[in-house]
Structure 1
Amino acid sequence: MPGTSRTTEQLLAMHEQGFVLLRGIMTPQQVEAVRAAIDRLEPIHWDYQGLVDDHYKCVFNRDPFWLPLLDLPGVIELAQACLGENCHVIGQTAWRSHPGFVGGELHADYLAMELPERWLQDPTFTLPMQVCTAHLYLDRIDADLCPTLVISGSHRAGRKPRPGETHWKGREAQPVLCEAGDVLLFRSDLWHAGSRNRTTDRSRYLLQMHYGRRMVTQKFSPYLQWRFNPEVLAAATPRQRRLLGEHEPSEYD
């Protein structure tokens, strides 16, 4: 089956390169609808609207509109191949990055444990993924509009970058240039960075979906005060409910 073959190739790239750029996941009309929905968001809990960026957490809980973005066709198949058929969403975040925004330094989001780099250079050793992030870009990303920077293969370093470190095995971070509606899926141990918005009149719109293995905790702030929106749960498909945490009982349930 063509779809199965494509997912297999993409999974291999996730193990070898640490990321995959998925082209044309959303149509221009779908992109515009998500941009408009982000413009309607108001900050709650730990959200913020700043001078150069706006950040909204757990947007799936605001309205059923956001549910289909949790399991976009062409994305969810790869996320499940990376993390297991019982993976779930650990967060969904909307961003606007305005002119003057400065992205984060080179970093890795999460490592389950540090490992000797020599182990990870062994071609017979495959390091399982624990968390992956999908960046849904809602603008055409050029060199001036906050491209995500990645170092291919750097997840095999077995550690996070040290302060001031900018290379891995002679490789520099490279920008991911893409079109609106494309999705970058990358593993949490990949070395990556944000970058500046060098434009004077454009804001980058971005929606992040974070996926974790079944045993990775969901990051639904404000935690002890968290409550699911009943309208969202009523509208969710069985797969979306599982992504939100409705799992079959397992060892620790």
Structure 2
Amino acid sequence: MSEGIVGKFNRQGFVVLRSLIPSDDAQRLAELVERRHRDPETHKAADSDFVRGNVGLMRMFEYHQAFRDLLVVEPVISLVEQILGSDCHVVAQNALRTPNGSGIVNWHIDDALFFPFLADAPAPFALSTALPCYSLNVMVVLSDVDDETHGPTQVVAASHLTGKAPEYSPALPSGVFPTSLLARAGDAYLVNSQTWHRGAQNKSGRTRYLLTTTYGRRFISQRFYPFLNYVMPQHVIAGASDHLLRVLGKHQKGPYG
């Protein structure tokens, strides 16, 4: 079954997983996100990088063990390791709190464009084997996003195969159509970092909550501010399994050290 899910992910650049966690657990995580947002310490120091753009809350695994433990939740972590390799790690874990009128509305890919040569391939282009995936997002929905007004994550299917990045704007090129990932609290979806995506504007009267964990292959650097001087807090490491420690970044020695 996992091979079918991975195959679908490779073909369309995303895949939806229903009921990854119970809805009650999702609600509890949403409450924790809201609590962190309302904590004055979160907003106190601009250089602490706990919050970005008044929508993103950074490094949630530092805030509460419930977020840390989701880094290795099944069946997601097995799917991630099947796609990225058994030595992959977490690149970032951020919560998105999107009230009415907000959203990450510009279309984008995450990080660099990995395969620009695909843009010059003859159309229609078909791969005999799956294109390598170097990083992906696991997005766990923490509040119901069951119609377009709630600001769903939107993707363009198979856009990871185009060798192009979208214009950083709310508009798509003519003839390109998005897929809205409508979901219930506790659902999740995996999105290739090269897949065109955005968070549509929340036009409803309720706040949208989403937890986004980015995983990368071993050679993709982790993005924990302040980068050079980042030290994993001891409370994050305490009680962690060997598997979780590896996902957090405790690797064996390799070719470069």
Q: TM-score by structure 1 length? A: 0.90
1:107 paired residue number: 108
Q: Which of 159, 162, 167 pairs up with 2:167?
A: 162
Tell me, yes or no, if the aligned pair for 2:106 and 2:168 is still in contact at 8 Å.
no
- Shift in CA distance, 138/63, structure 1 to aligned 2, threshold 3 Å: closer
Task: Work out the CA distance in 2 between the residues paired with 1:147 and 1:11.
Answer: 23
The answer (yes or no) to whether the contact 2:60–2:68 under 8 Å persists in 1 is no
Tell me the residue number matched to 2:247.
Answer: 243
Q: CA deviation at 1:66?
A: 2.0
The number of equivalent residue pairs is 244
Distance 1:63 1:162, change over 3 A: closer
2:13 alignment counterpart: 18
1:163 to partner: Cα distance: 5.3
Residue-by-residue CA offset, 1:115-156 (whole Å, 9 max, x unaligned): 233279133143100000011111111211110111111111
Structure with more helix by fraction: 2
* Distance in 1 between residues matched to 2:72 and 2:81, nearest whole Å: 10
**C-alpha spacing 1:234/1:21, structure 2 compared with 1 (3 Å):** same
2:22 corresponds to 1:27 = yes
C-alpha change, 1:181 and 1:109, in structure 2 (3 Å) is same
Q: Which stretches in structure 1 are left out of the alignment for 5+ residues?
A: 1-5
Give the conservation status (yes or no) of the 8 Å contact 2:18–2:187. yes
Q: Which residue of 2 aligns with 1:140?
A: 144
**Deviation digits for residues 98-124 of structure 1 (CA, Å, limit 9, x no counterpart):** 011032312111332412332791331
Give the aligned partner of residue 196 of structure 1: 201
Conserved 8 A contact 1:91-1:211: yes
The answer to whether the aligner puts 1:47 opposite 2:42 as a matched pair is no
Equivalence for 1:3: none
Question: How much does 1:39 deviate?
Answer: 2.1
> Structure 2 stretches of 5 or more lacking a match?
none
**Matched AA of 1:116:** L
The residue identity in structure 1 corresponding to 2:10 is: H
Q: Identity across aligned pairs (percent)?
A: 28
Q: Counterparts of 1:167 and 1:148 in 2: how far apart (Å)?
A: 18
- Could you tell me how far 1:235 is from its partner in structure 2? 2.0
Q: Give the residue type in structure 1 aligned to 2:225.
A: S
Q: Normalized against structure 2, the TM-score is what?
A: 0.88
Is the contact made by 2:30 and 2:143 (CA closer than 8 Å) also made in structure 1?
Answer: no
Name the SS for the 1:186 alignment partner: strand
Secondary structure (helix, strand or coil) at the match of 1:70 reads helix
SS of corresponding position for 2:191: strand
Could you tell me which residue of structure 1 aligns to residue 83 of structure 2? 82
The whole-number CA distance in structure 2 between the counterparts of 1:131 and 1:123 is 19
C-alpha RMSD of the superposition: 1.9
State whether residues 150 and 192 of structure 1, in contact with CA within 8 Å, keep that contact through their aligned partners in structure 2.
Answer: yes
The answer (yes or no) to whether the contact 1:103–1:146 under 8 Å persists in 2 is no
Deviation at 1:73, TM superposition (A): 1.1
Moved more, 119-128 or 134-143: 119-128
Partner of 1:37: 32
Task: State the shift of 1:188 in Å.
Answer: 0.6
Matched, 1:186 2:181: no
Contact 1:79-1:211 at 8 Å conserved across structures: yes
For the residue of structure 1 that corresponds to 2:244, the secondary structure is helix
Quote how far apart the aligned CAs of 1:61 are. Answer: 1.8
Which residue of 2 is the match for residue 116 of structure 1? 118
Return closer, same or farther for 1:124/1:225 CA change in 2, 3 Å cut-off: same
1:218 aligns with 2:197: no
